[in-house]
């Protein structure tokens, strides 16, 4: 789960940094939040692609493992 936490932390840092920069440029209120959300999303799409891929692989592996365990469980129960 380390890649998931690393990606999430990086997204939060990008959002807060974008929020601060936009605040300095004069955006306030709901406009500030919406602009920060859109801009940080676009920046993270470009800058965090490797972390996103690592997170996706981790999540996929975890789901496959849990599905395999779930599929094997009835066999153990019947035996």
The whole-number pLDDT of residue 23 equals 97
Q: Burial-class residue 7 by CB neighbours within 10 Å (0-12, 13-18, 19+).
A: buried
What distance in Å separates the CA atoms of residue 33 and residue 35, rounded to the nearest whole number? 6
pLDDT in tens, 29-76: 999 999 999 999 999 999 999 999 999 999 999 999 999 888 887 766
The whole-number pLDDT of residue 70 equals 87
The whole-number pLDDT of residue 78 equals 58
Q: What is the pTM of this model?
A: 0.78
All structural domains of the chain with their residue ranges: 2-78
The whole-number pLDDT of residue 77 equals 61
The whole-number pLDDT of residue 9 equals 96
């Amino acid at each position: 789960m380390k890649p998931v936490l690393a990606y999430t932390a990086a997204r939060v840092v990008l959002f807060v940094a974008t929020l601060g920069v936009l605040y300095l440029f004069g955006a306030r209120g709901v406009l500030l939040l919406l602009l920060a959300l859109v801009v940080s999303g676009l920046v993270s799409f470009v800058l965090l692609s490797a972390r996103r891929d690592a997170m996706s692989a981790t999540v996929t592996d975890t789901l496959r493992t849990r599905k395999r365990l779930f599929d094997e469980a009835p066999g153990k129960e019947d035996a």
